[in-house]
């Protein structure tokens, strides 16, 4: 999960596997697999970087277990 910020400045954790796609508007609009959507303050590049970091940590932790 990654930590993002709603437009009202409240934090939210997002399961990256539930993201369907993201639109880059002045803010970022995230669409989820279940049909829900929400705006967040982070730009598209920041969201991508957080997803990559999260996935890298998951892979690294998986390798350490094996």
The count of domains in the chain is 1
Please report the pLDDT score of residue 66 as a whole number.
60
Q: How many CB atoms lie within 10 A of CB 24?
A: 11
pLDDT above 90 (res 39):
yes
Percent over 90 (pLDDT), the chain: 86
* Spatial distance between the Cα atoms of 2 and 59, rounded to a whole number of angstroms: 15
Which stretch of DSSP H or E encloses residue 23? strand 19-24
Average pLDDT over residues 45-53: 97
**The pTM of the whole model exceeds 0.85:** yes
Boundaries of domain holding 35: 2-65
Q: What is the pLDDT of residues 16-38, one digit of tens each?
A: 999 999 999 888 999 999 999 99
Q: 23 - beta bridge partners?
A: 29
| Residue 62 pLDDT | 86
Q: Which of 9, 7, 8, 29 is nearest to 20 (CA)?
A: 29
């Amino acid at each position: 999960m990654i930590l993002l910020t709603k437009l009202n400045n409240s934090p939210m954790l997002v399961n990256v596997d539930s993201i369907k796609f993201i639109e880059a508007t002045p803010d970022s609009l995230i669409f989820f697999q279940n049909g829900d959507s929400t705006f967040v303050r982070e730009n598209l590049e920041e969201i991508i970087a957080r997803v990559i970091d999260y996935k890298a940590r998951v892979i690294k932790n998986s390798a350490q277990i094996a």
